[in-house]
Amino acid sequence: MKYRPIMVVGTGSHVGKSVIAAALCRAYARRGLDVAPFKAQNMALNAGITPEGGEMGRAQITQAEAARQAPHVDMNPILIKPTGQAVSQVIVEGRVLGDFPAADYYKMKPRLTRRVMAAFRRLHDRHQLIVLEGAGSCAEVNLKKFDLVNLAMARRAGAKALLVGDIDAGGIFAQIVGTLGLMAPTERRLITGVIVNKFRGDPGLFQDGLAWLEKKTGKPVLGLLPYFDHIRLPQEDGVALERGELRASPGVSRVGVIRLENISNYTDVDALAVEDGVEVRWIDRPQELAGLDLLILPGTKNTLAALRGLKKSGLFQAIGSWHALGGRVLGLCGGYQILGAIVADPAGVEGPSGEAEGLGLLPVKTTMSGHKTTTRIKARAAPDLPSAAPGEVSGYEIHMGRTTATGPSRPAFHLVSSLGRAVEAPDGQVSLDGRVVGTYLHGVLDNDALRAALLAWVRGEAMIGPALDYAAFKDQQYDLLADLFEAEVDVDALLEPQRPSDS
């Protein structure tokens, strides 16, 4: 049986749309439904690679995992990645379309809408139920004529929409009433009900507020969801970092992660952050390097801008001094490029053209190019990797630079396959002193045996066994999320058989 699509829209950004969509995906998957997520357009720097080699937003990959589906670019046909120069890289169906200012992107909307709807129809044909997610506020009146991701998408998809507001941000009544008040009557009719998210305290004390909302809006309140911090989910973008929501738990091993300009794919450190005895801190100032056992430089969408930011903050010089005193450093993708001697962008691929000195902790040089590498890989740790573990590791690459050795080459990994095809190629570098490692491989820390070896290296001890089963841990989080959601929202009541005229 096919079901009418369900869409989650919000009163603004970061109100919980992505999380609620993931909760719905897991709740319906647990009922045996073939459910899949969909977001027409996502703006985020946290991305991943599908089994076919297409690039898509991290939130929809998370939702696909919650739905027990393999990610596919039809789930997120448009991904926008800001470069920090009022220009964004636009990725359509997993491939780079180009870099565009907002005005030029809006001109392409009619053509892109056709591609979005083609992706949605393909997805709808393959699955019983589609859970859609909107973007930002669904009532941005100045952008309504360009809308392809919020209520215009709900109308095209024949979806029923759930409006989510964030009570923790304050002004929940204005959020809900104001958002509905800005909608046209045809748009209001798409809204099935309201969800109040991130409630703290005694829900019994807010029943009068819920009743007022229902009377004022004429829409039922479908659920009052509690604020939670016991469930660990990958973050869609950098908002949680900007708001200081990712706080460290005390641990014996102290890992610092530099908050680079245009930081991307910082979900690479999620697996470390949930390990017992590991404290992950976000680093903005030189004095915060004190006491660290490992420093990680994550990815960035603009490596030259990230280098400028490090120099402005004083971290550029401080990292070199910290390493000279015995510190261990790991660079991932853009962080690997920063660890080298030179980063050059002669064609202005990531912003204004230029060249800058890197930290010089690895004998490599990076030159940006217009070709973007997007692939899933399998690799083996090279003998020089101090955190080597037996067997293959999996990961993925998303980058636009080519990095070459400028001195004796000591690869960190040897690639053995790319998108399932056999390859033989080195990846990354290890410093001569063995205390600096760089790699292009995202997701490499999700590999349990390698992560255990890394922690043993950081702690200066022999590896005594595998680390946490991270895949099982993530799956448990999706179940915990669905448990919390189903305790407050009648998900079965939201299901509505698809009428032939709706499909």
pLDDT attached to residue 243 = 53
Cα–Cα distance between 331 and 338 in angstroms, integer? 8
Tell me the pLDDT tens digit for each residue of 227-272: 999 999 987 665 555 555 555 566 789 999 999 999 999 999 999 9
The tokens for 241 are 């970092």
Q: Is residue 320 part of a domain?
A: yes
Answer yes or no: do 226 and 289 share one domain: no
Task: Write down the pLDDT at residue 204.
Answer: 95
Q: In this structure, is residue 218 part of a structural domain?
A: yes
Residue-range definition of the domain harbouring residue 151? 6-232
Residue in 14, 25, 323, 333 annotated catalytic: 333
CATH number of the domain encompassing residue 409: 3.40.50.880
The tens digit of pLDDT for each residue in 160-215 reads 999 999 999 999 999 999 999 999 999 999 999 999 999 999 999 999 999 999 99
89/31 same-domain check: yes
Chain centroid to Cα 191, Å, comes to 27
The verdict on residue 474 lying in a domain is no
Task: State how many domains the chain has.
Answer: 2
- Residue whose pair of structure tokens reads 């899933």 in the numeric block: 376
CATH number at residue 85: 3.40.50.300
Query: 129 forms bridges with which residues in the sheet?
Result: 35
pLDDT at 239: 55
CB 165, CB 17: distance < 8 Å: no
End-to-end CA distance of the chain: 12
Residues 252 and 184 in one domain: no
Position 247 scores a pLDDT of 56
* β-bridge partners, 280: 255
What mean pLDDT do residues 457-465 have? Answer: 75
Q: Are residues 203 and 294 in the same domain?
A: no
Question: Which among 174, 197, 232 is the end of a domain?
Answer: 232
Task: Check residue 392 and give its pLDDT.
Answer: 96
Query: Which residue(s) pair with 281 in the sheet?
Result: 256
Under a CB-based contact definition with an 8 Å cutoff, are residues 140 and 11 in contact?
no
For residue 86, what pLDDT band results from cuts at 50, 70 and 90? confident
Cα(200)–Cα(185) distance, rounded to whole angstroms? 33
Same domain for 91 and 47? yes
- Among residues 72, 323, 399, 442, the one annotated as catalytic is 442
Active site residue 138: no
pLDDT at 436 > cutoff 60: yes
Q: Kindly tell me if the per-residue pLDDT of 370 is higher than 90.
A: no
Q: Is residue 238 part of a domain?
A: no
Looking at the structure, tell me whether residues 224 and 251 fall in a common domain: no
State whether 301 and 371 are in the same domain.
Answer: yes
| Residue-level pLDDT at 84 | 73
Question: Rounded distance, CA 196 to CA 14, Å?
Answer: 13
Q: Residues 143, 97: one domain?
A: yes
Residue 191 lies in a domain: yes
The pLDDT tens digits of the residues spanning 13-70 come to 999 999 999 999 999 999 999 999 999 999 999 999 999 999 999 999 999 999 999 9
- Return the closest-CA partner of residue 331 out of 303, 306, 299: 299
pLDDT in tens, 99-155: 999 899 989 988 999 999 999 999 999 999 999 999 999 999 998 888 999 999 999
Residue 302 belongs to a domain: yes
Separation CA 400–CA 440 (nearest Å): 11
Percent of the chain with pLDDT over 90: 88
Q: Are residues 189 and 283 in the same domain?
A: no
Quickly state the pLDDT bin for 466 (edges 50, 70, 90). low
**In-domain check, residue 448:** yes
pLDDT digits (tens, 9 = 90+) for 312-337: 999 999 999 999 999 999 999 999 99
Residues 251 and 225 in one domain: no
Exposure string for 461-473, b = 16+ CB within 10 A, e = fewer: eebeeebbebeee
Q: Is residue 503 scored above 60 in pLDDT?
A: no
- Main-chain dihedrals φ then ψ at residue 172, nearest 5 degrees: -65, -35
Specify if 493 maps to a domain: no
In a shared domain, residues 91 and 152? yes
- Is 317 in the same domain as 255? yes
Q: HSE of 25 in the Cβ direction (CA atoms, 13 Å)?
A: 32
Q: What is the pLDDT of residue 194?
A: 98
What pLDDT is stored for residue 175 in this prediction? Answer: 98
